[in-house]
């Protein structure tokens, strides 16, 4: 499989880009990697890059976007931060990726048993991590069940995963609300913004 070129990137639509990622995750689950020569792709991309998707995911060592979607060099922009939320710098990176570099799809990828989400559920406080946790805590408050406070913590993995899913939704809302550039591109059909959850037990990505 060759690295994307300006010509192949131009053929990509938001829908086709999403299909490529779904097919890649299916290969990953089946342990069937696409046939690609990474050193050849190093050479092919040495004078330019033409990725088709931008993926915002967590720093979790088990959730590498390139691996779980079976993508090669030059295929995707990968933005990683604990808790996969957005700030001004990440939004700027997304605007560059879509408006200037030509990606057609933004995926906000959360995952099950997320440590950052667990920290938010427990209202953890530690150095600079405190400010990061504060950005995720609105997702904790937005999940109303269970009502019993003793079950609204990291020991309740169902609650943790529900907060992870809500955090993805809130992040997408923030992208649209805080980036006029990306919101207009989505309105014009130039890009698609979608959420997804990665299951660390199965390797499956569920888009929604």
Q: Classify residue 118: in a domain, yes or no.
A: yes
Q: Is 114 annotated as a binding residue?
A: yes
Q: Is 98 annotated as a binding residue?
A: no
Residue 31, exposed/middle/buried by CB under 10 A (0-12, 13-18, 19+)? Answer: exposed
Q: Classify residue 102: in a domain, yes or no.
A: yes
Q: Give me the domain span that covers residue 122.
A: 6-207
Each of the 208 residues of the chain gets a pLDDT tens digit; together they read: 888 888 898 999 999 999 999 999 999 999 999 888 888 899 889 889 999 999 999 999 999 999 999 999 999 999 999 999 999 999 999 999 999 999 999 999 999 999 999 999 999 999 999 999 999 999 999 999 999 999 999 999 999 999 999 999 999 999 999 999 999 999 999 999 999 999 999 999 999 8
CATH number of the domain residue 68 falls in: 3.40.1050.10
Q: Classify residue 1: in a domain, yes or no.
A: no
Residues contacting 123, CB < 8 A, separation 6+: 133, 137
Tally of structural domains, the chain:
1
Q: Classify residue 194: in a domain, yes or no.
A: yes
Element (H, E) at 111: strand 105-111
Q: Classify residue 85: in a domain, yes or no.
A: yes
pLDDT of residue 176: 98
């Amino acid at each position: 499989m060759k690295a994307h070129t300006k010509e192949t990137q131009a053929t990509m639509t938001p829908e086709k880009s999403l299909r490529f990622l779904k097919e890649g995750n299916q290969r990953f689950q089946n342990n069937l990697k696409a046939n690609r020569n990474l050193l050849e792709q190093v050479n092919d991309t040495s004078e330019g890059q033409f990725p088709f998707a931008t993926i915002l995911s967590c720093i979790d060592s088990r959730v590498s976007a390139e691996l779980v979607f079976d993508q090669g060099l030059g295929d995707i922009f990968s933005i990683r931060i604990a808790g996969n939320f957005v700030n001004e710098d990440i939004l700027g990176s997304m605007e560059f990726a879509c408006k200037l570099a030509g990606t057609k799809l933004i995926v906000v990828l959360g995952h099950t048993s997320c440590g950052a989400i667990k920290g938010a559920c427990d209202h953890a406080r530690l150095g600079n991590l405190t400010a990061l946790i504060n950005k995720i805590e609105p997702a904790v408050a937005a999940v109303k069940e269970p009502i019993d406070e003793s079950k609204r913590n990291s020991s309740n993995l169902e609650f943790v995963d529900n907060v992870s899913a809500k955090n993805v939704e809130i992040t997408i809302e923030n992208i649209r609300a805080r980036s006029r550039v990306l919101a207009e591109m989505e309105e014009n059909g130039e890009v698609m913004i979608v959420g997804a959850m990665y299951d660390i037990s199965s390797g499956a990505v569920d888009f929604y």
